[in-house]
Amino acid sequence: MVNLPSYTCSFSEEAVAFVVGLKKSHQRVVLDCASKIAASPFHICDYRMDDANGRSIDNLLLEGFLFAYWVDHAAKEVNVLEILRAT
């Protein structure tokens, strides 16, 4: 069986502030979702947008939260920029 490289997840200050402001049960959901994104970094997102620097930012809706992130495949890292409540 092929061993896929494991990716880590890093959060911007804005994303951390959002998570810290949630109830404990919602914090766990958000962190689990971020782990799912890192476990499958080649997953097709819901839509893409370019940031001011021209970098493609993936946007994915999971468990009622919208994650904006970009994947650094060289560093094997998912960089979560923003998380919003979708409901």
69 and 1 Cβ atoms separated by less than 8 Å: no
Instruction: Tell me the per-residue pLDDT of 18-41, one tens digit each, with 9 for 90 and over.
Output: 999 999 999 999 999 999 999 999
Average pLDDT over residues 74-79: 95
Q: pLDDT-derived band of residue 4, with 50, 70 and 90 as boundaries?
A: low
Task: Return the pLDDT at 66.
Answer: 97
Task: Return the pLDDT at 43.
Answer: 86
> For domain 8-85, which CATH number applies: 3.90.1150.10, 3.30.2020.10, 3.20.19.10, 3.30.2310.20?
3.30.2310.20
> pTM (2 decimals)?
0.89
Average pLDDT over residues 58-79: 95
**Residue 26: other Cβ atoms inside 10 A:** 15
What is the secondary structure of the chain as a DSSP string?
Answer: ---PPPPEEEE-HHHHHHHHTS-HHHHHHHHHHHHHHHH-TTSPPSEEEE-TTS-EEEEEEETTEEEEEEEETTTTEEEEEEEEE--
